[in-house]
């Protein structure tokens, strides 16, 4: 069964100037997303700067979100590692923390084979009793999940879908052709939501929903309700804002945008740092044009 249908926000993790997680700002972000009507919250994904959180902070952030959400929407914990043993430990801990599902990024840097991917994901999914989503984002990890590999992993009862962020619509089409009808495909690219939903996708895991949740949610709901023109128009309307939010490496721009909205401090963990003046002005301009500030 799909963990969610529609728009799930890959929520940012706010920090304080001393480098600690700003849990008050985090609580406010979570509550705001739920009030806007978000369909799911993904914690400690790429946008949540998971790569600079230690395991204690990672687990604590997921537990905190679970406690704030109180079952109102699914909470999906970002997990995965380039070390399968470590990834399994983290997956188990997030299950224990109350996550409704897991988003499992491919192993990075090792650049394993497709056979290694199958063994890695099978071992991880075997270790938990909650649904798992594959996460294919080769631009960051250096490893692509081939359609045939996705199809093989779809046979595992705990692997229920994929966040597909390859940017290759032909690859998404091939995955859709090979997997069972009940296997959930989510767009991992904000600018490809409607094309992927047209191939049978159930929605997306979104960066732009951090700052424009209402239109992000309405885009998927319009499509699911059969209002294809409105869905298309919203995809195109969001395009310039989406482009600005990827003018630097994610999540640098979206966190700057949240800062401009007064929702978090402009704090990152190195090696991420605030955007330069040109990127900041582009973000400010698009946010102003969109009516967000």
Q: Which residues are annotated as a binding site?
A: 47, 205
In this structure, the dihedral spanned by the alpha carbons of residues 185, 186, 190 and 191, taken in order and rounded to 10 degrees, is: 10
Q: What is the C-alpha to C-alpha distance for residues 236 and 46, in angstroms, rounded to an integer?
A: 24
**Binding site residue list for pyruvate:** 47, 205
135 noted as active-site residue = yes
* Residue from 121, 163, 186, 204 carrying the catalytic annotation: 163
Contact 198, 169 (CB under 8 A): no
In this structure, the dihedral spanned by the alpha carbons of residues 251, 252, 253 and 256, taken in order and rounded to 10 degrees, is: 110
* Residue from 135, 186, 204, 268 carrying the catalytic annotation: 135
What sign for the dihedral angle of Cα 248, 59, 154, 74?
Answer: negative
Query: What are the DSSP E strand ranges found in 154-277?
Result: 159-164, 184-187, 203-206
Measure Cα distances from 264 to 11, 24, 219, 256 in Å.
Answer: 12, 10, 26, 9
In this structure, the dihedral spanned by the alpha carbons of residues 201, 192, 110 and 268, taken in order and rounded to 10 degrees, is: -120
The residues that are catalytic are: 135, 163
């Amino acid at each position: 069964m799909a963990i969610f249908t529609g728009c799930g926000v890959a929520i940012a993790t706010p920090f304080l100037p001393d480098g600690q997680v700003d849990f008050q700002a985090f609580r406010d972000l979570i509550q705001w997303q739920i009030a806007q009507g978000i369909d799911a919250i993904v914690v400690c994904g790429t946008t949540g700067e998971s790569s600079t959180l230690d395991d204690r902070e990672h687990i604590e952030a997921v537990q905190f979100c679970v406690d704030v959400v109180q079952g109102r929407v699914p909470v999906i914990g970002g997990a995965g590692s380039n070390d399968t043993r470590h990834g399994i430990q983290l997956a188990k801990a997030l299950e224990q923390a109350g996550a409704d599902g897991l988003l499992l990024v491919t192993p990075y840097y090792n650049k394993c084979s497709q056979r290694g991917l199958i063994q890695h994901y099978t071992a991880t999914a075997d270790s938990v009793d909650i649904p798992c989503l594959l996460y294919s984002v080769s631009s960051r990890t250096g490893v692509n999940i081939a359609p045939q590999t996705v199809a093989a992993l779809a046979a595992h009862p705990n692997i229920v879908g994929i966040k597909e962020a390859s940017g290759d619509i032909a690859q998404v089409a091939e995955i859709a052709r090979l997997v069972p009808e009940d296997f959930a495909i989510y767009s991992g690219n904000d600018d490809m939501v409607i094309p992927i939903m047209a191939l049978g996708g159930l929605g997306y895991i979104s960066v732009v929903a951090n700052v424009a949740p209402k239109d992000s949610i309405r885009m998927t709901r319009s499509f699911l309700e059969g209002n294809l023109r409105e869905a298309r128009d919203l995809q195109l309307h969001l395009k310039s804002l989406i482009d600005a939010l990827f003018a630097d490496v994610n999540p640098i721009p979206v966190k700057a945008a949240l800062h401009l909205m007064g929702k978090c401090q402009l704090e990152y963990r190195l090696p991420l740092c605030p955007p330069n003046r040109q990127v900041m002005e582009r973000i400010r301009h698009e946010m102003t044009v969109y009516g967000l500030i």
